[in-house]
Amino acid sequence: MLCKNCNEPLTDKNTYTSDHRYCISCGKEHTNYISYRKNTLKSLQEMNLDSKIIQTKYLIKETVREFGLEKVYISYSGGKDSTVLSHIAKSLYPNILHIFANTTNEFPETLQHIKWEKEENKTNLLTVIPKDSKGNVWTFKKVVEYYGYPIFSKRISNAIRTYQHALTEQTRQNSIDYIERNFKKYSKYKELPISDKCCDRLKKEPIRRKAKELGLECAILGILTSESYQREKDWIENGCNVFHKRKDNQSRPMSFWTEADIQEYITRFHVRISKLYEMGYSRNGCMYCGFGVHLEKGLNRYQKLAKTHPVQYQYFIKNFGNLIVEFDIQIANAL
C-alpha cells in the first residue's frame, strides 16, 4: 500500500496511526491542514449576515465570470435555503436560470411555491421530471422497489447498499467490516432493502440531464455545511466554488451560512417562502425520505405528516408502512 500523498510504500514503521492512508510525515501535514480548514470554516460561520451576503455575491459573480451567465443555473428545491440563494442571485442577475426537479415525492406546498415563483414572481424556472434511460418516469415508489429505501443517512444507506451488492466475498467482508467499524448499531438492518440511490434517480440525474441538454456548465447550490458531516467534509476538501476538479462544476456560495442566517435574511428582506414552514416543518425535502428521521425529537416527520397531510400519509402507510416499522421508526398508526 502506498501513501495517498507521496506514494511512499507504507510499512508498520512509517504508517500514520491516525490515518492509515498516509505516511507519518504526510499524515501530520494532512491533519494540520484539516485543522486549519475547520478553523477557517468556523471563522466564516461566525461572520455577521452583511459580510456573508457580500461574500456570497462575490462567489456567485466569480461563477458567472468563469462560465458566463448563459452557462450557469440555480439548482432550485423550493426550500428556504435555495429561496434565499435565488433572492440573492436575482439581485445580481434577475433572469438567471433556475432548474427544479419534481421528484414525484414533493409536498403540495412546495409545488405551490414553485408555481408562484414561476407565474407570479417571474422567476426564470424550468421543471424537470425524473425518467429512466427508456423515457419511463421514475417515481419514489419505483425507486424504492428497485433499489431500496433511503433511511438513516446517505452514508449508512450507501454502506448497506455496497454490502448488499458486493460481487466478491472479500468485498462483502470489507463492507461488513466497514459497517461494524462506522455504523455498528445499524448492522442489524443490513439485510433490509436500503439504498442511497433515490436522490440520484429522482433529483440529481434529471437536473444533470437537462443541464447537459441546455449546454450548461455549472450548478449554483444553496447548501449549508452545517446540515451534514458529508457537506462539511466536502467544504474542507474543496471550498465553496469547485471548478474543473470533478465531473460536475459546482458553486456553493452559502456553504458557511447557518440556519439562523437564513431566518434573519428571510425576515430582513421579507422573502416569501413555502407555506410548509408555517405548518411546523423545518425542511421541505421529499415527503417520505428517511434520512435523519431517527434523530428527530418529539413528533418525527412521519407522525407530523399524519396530522398535516392525511391523504399523503395514508399512501405512505399503504406502500411503505411495514418497512418503516422494520427500521424501528415510529409512525402514527399501528399496523
- Per-residue model confidence as pLDDT tens digits over 185-240: 999 999 999 999 999 999 999 999 999 999 999 999 999 999 888 899 999 999 99
Averaged over 231-258, what is the pLDDT?
Answer: 95
**233 alpha carbon, distance to own chain's centre:** 13
% of the chain beyond a pLDDT of 70 = 99
Q: Indicate the pairing of strand 98-101 with strand 241-242.
A: unpaired
Global pTM reads 0.91
Q: How does pLDDT run across 59-118, given as a tens digit for each residue?
A: 999 999 999 999 999 999 999 999 999 999 999 999 999 999 999 999 999 999 999 999
Q: What share of the chain is helix, strand, coil (3-state, %, to 5)?
A: 55, 10, 35
The candidate with the shortest Cα–Cα distance to 263, out of 7, 44, 83, 22, is 83
**Average pLDDT of the chain, as a whole number:** 95
% of the chain beyond a pLDDT of 90 = 91
Instruction: Give the number of other Cβ atoms within 10 Å of residue 260's Cβ.
Output: 11
With both helix axes pointing from N to C terminus, report the angle between 154-164 and 169-182 in degrees, rounded to the nearest 10.
Answer: 160
The candidate with the shortest Cα–Cα distance to 102, out of 24, 22, 202, is 202
